[in-house]
Chain A
Amino acid sequence: MSFWNDPLKVAADWLEGVFMGWGMDSVFAHVLVAFLGVFLLIALLMVLDIFLVWIERKVVARFQDRLGPNRVGPYGLIQPFADIIKLIIKEDTTPGNADKVVYNLAPILSMMSVLILWAIVPLAPVMLGTDLNVGVLFLIAAGAIGTLSIIMAGWSSNNKFALIGGFRQVAVMVSFEVPMLTMLLIPVIFSGSMNMNAIIQDQDIWYFLISPLGALIFLIAAIAELGRAPFDLAEGESELVSGFNIEYSGMKFGMFYAGELLHAFTFGGFWSILFFGGYRFFGLEQVSPFLAILILIIKAMLGYWVIMWVKYTMMRIRIDQMLSFNWKFLTPLSFVLLLVTALMNALLASAPTWLYIVGMILANVVTGWAALEIARSATRQERERVEGPKQAAEVSH
């Protein structure tokens, strides 16, 4: 076993040997090595997070035909470090009426809920982190803690904007968790496992190809879960100023901000794991774990880029529109898609691969088309009811 093929195990064995050479208990040495590994991974993630600030600002600048940060360092690369120094040496004000303990706990929990998601990310065939057999549900469980941190921040600030923002964000998150849970069932049906690594290993055909609509609904639900545009009504700069994090300053605000960026990147990663084969790319992942990690990061970045693309293209929607869209369109559609997928999967179980793929794509397309048609006729009826049939006819011409 060389370093090139399994760097984590080689390094861990070496470190364990060193620690045991110092007279440590073998179990303790094992846990200590695991702790150092986790610490290293999270430290690297935080470094990545710093660069995500730069990437996000650069990409939004290009979308809006601007240059973005370009003064500090080459291409403005040093800019995020300057931002961090500023955040650290800034005065950390706490509103006098705030509930201090809950107020300080909220940003910590928010960041933690994002970081623990990486416990279930398989980075490479030999680097699994935690090979949890309920990985898919763990994703939702971590989201539950994130939801809680936002309501804690919104409530404890004792600010009207913060409370409204917190409430809205929680309403968005709990609503879109239903389609998200339902869409998580689709990779589980295909792979027959809730383990993230098993889901990747099963994707000889990307699940995106056999469930494109599922991947799309998952992305929409993920964007809502992230609280990004068009579902960013919790922050709503034009109405709530900054929403749930309005009273936070300094590094506490930094934690919310960094957490949001890392969360978006992480969900880009989960999107690629669940629907685009994760670290797999035509057998390249078998060459070296380093290559596998690179593939995963590239795919996650592409997913993150799509999320940014949506964010800087769409406008914010109102809370009633958001809830209607979710409960009256997305939730029924995701249930129907789940049942159609389960049914087709069982019917085509013994069919040849090409027929299976074609059948699945057709099922997805028909379901999506039918849903759009029903929604279109329903909205037309609604418009006629509100405006009267004559005006609606004029509008459509």
Chain B
Amino acid sequence: MSEWIYVALFIAVGLIIPIGAIAAGFILGPKKPNPIKEATYECGVEPVGEAWIQFKPQYYIFALVFLVFDVEAVFLFPWAVKLGQLGLYAVVEGIIFVSILIIGLVYTWRKGMLEWL
């Protein structure tokens, strides 16, 4: 657990320094807001409509595919740590594990879900 105390210190200092820098900017900089200045930037013309709108579903699909492979890689880390001492049969198990997922990737590909439409 003592390692995590260091990580916690890094998180604390990593928050303090940017907060300090931004606070310094806030204190030293001028503050003269007006509605024109606070308007949303849209290449110099009046903003049209809302920015918080619905988005392309493609982003969601890629995130979904990513999630599966993320979990898979996490499973492989303990396997990789022990691989050097376990020999060939562990390698074969890993090959089976990854191959099953490659089937999934091929299926996704064939179904055309990896295309950006």
A–B proximity contact (CB within 8 A): yes
Q: Which residues of A contact B (CB under 8 A)?
A: 31, 34-35, 38-39, 42-43, 46, 87-97, 104, 107-108, 111-113, 115-116, 118-119, 129-133, 136-138, 155, 157-163, 167, 170-171, 174-175, 177-178, 181-182, 185, 188-190, 192-194, 241, 246-247, 250-252, 254-255, 319-320, 323-324, 327-328, 331-332, 335, 338-339, 342-343, 345-347, 349
Q: A88-B25, A89-B29, A192-B82 are in contact. List 17 more A-B contacts (CB 8 A).
A: A92-B31, A95-B38, A97-B40, A108-B18, A178-B70, A194-B77, A194-B81, A250-B29, A320-B116, A323-B116, A327-B105, A327-B114, A331-B105, A342-B94, A346-B83, A347-B88, A349-B87
Instruction: Return chain A residues, CB-CB under 8 Å to B32.
Output: 91
Instruction: Return chain A residues, CB-CB under 8 Å to B6.
Output: 34, 38, 119, 129-130
- The answer to whether B81 touches A94 (Cβ under 8 A) is no
30 chain-A/chain-B pairs, Cβ below 8 angstroms: A38-B6, A42-B10, A91-B30, A92-B26, A93-B37, A93-B38, A97-B51, A104-B22, A108-B19, A118-B10, A155-B52, A159-B42, A160-B42, A170-B59, A174-B62, A185-B76, A188-B77, A188-B80, A194-B81, A241-B43, A247-B40, A320-B115, A323-B114, A327-B62, A327-B114, A331-B69, A342-B80, A342-B83, A342-B91, A343-B95
- The answer to whether A115 touches B10 (Cβ under 8 A) is yes
- The answer to whether A89 touches B28 (Cβ under 8 A) is yes
Q: How many angstroms from the CA of A97 to the CA of B14 in the assembled complex? A: 28
- The answer to whether B13 touches A158 (Cβ under 8 A) is no
- The answer to whether B83 touches A345 (Cβ under 8 A) is yes
Instruction: Return chain B residues, CB-CB under 8 Å to A108.
Output: 15, 18-19, 22
Q: How many angstroms from the CA of A113 to the CA of B52 in the assembled complex? A: 26
Q: How many angstroms from the CA of A157 to the CA of B39 in the assembled complex? A: 11
Instruction: Return chain B residues, CB-CB under 8 Å to A328.
Output: 109, 114
- The answer to whether A251 touches B25 (Cβ under 8 A) is yes
With beta carbons under 8 angstroms apart, the residue of B7, B55, B63 that contacts A116 is B7
Instruction: Return chain A residues, CB-CB under 8 Å to B62.
Output: 171, 174-175, 323, 327
With beta carbons under 8 angstroms apart, the residue of B10, B15, B63, B101 that contacts A119 is B10
Instruction: Return chain A residues, CB-CB under 8 Å to B51.
Output: 97, 157-160, 162-163
3 tightest Cβ-Cβ pairs between the two chains A and B? A251-B25, A320-B116, A96-B38
- The answer to whether B82 touches A42 (Cβ under 8 A) is no
Residue of A nearest to B116 (CB): A320
- The answer to whether A119 touches B7 (Cβ under 8 A) is yes
With beta carbons under 8 angstroms apart, the residue of B14, B26, B29, B81 that contacts A188 is B81
Q: How many angstroms from the CA of A97 to the CA of B51 in the assembled complex? A: 10
- The answer to whether B13 touches A42 (Cβ under 8 A) is yes
Instruction: Return chain A residues, CB-CB under 8 Å to B80.
Output: 185, 188-189, 342
Instruction: Return chain A residues, CB-CB under 8 Å to B43.
Output: 241
Q: Determine chain A's interface SS by DSSP, over half rule.
A: helix
User: Does B3 make an interface contact (CB < 8 A)?
Assistant: yes
Residue of B nearest to A322 (CB): B116
Within 8 A of A (CB), among B79-93: 80-85, 87-88, 90-91
- The answer to whether A112 touches B11 (Cβ under 8 A) is yes
- The answer to whether A171 touches B28 (Cβ under 8 A) is no
Within 8 A of A (CB), among B35-78: 35, 37-43, 51-52, 55, 59, 62-63, 65-66, 69-70, 73-74, 76-77
B110 CB to nearest chain A CB (Å): 11
A137-B77 contact in complex given A250-B25, A331-B105, C-beta closer than 8 Å: yes
Residue of B nearest to A340 (CB): B95
Q: How many angstroms from the CA of A38 to the CA of B8 in the assembled complex? A: 10
A349-B84 contact in complex given A93-B33, A116-B7, A343-B91, C-beta closer than 8 Å: yes
Residue of A nearest to B21 (CB): A251
Instruction: Return chain A residues, CB-CB under 8 Å to B77.
Output: 136-137, 185, 188, 194
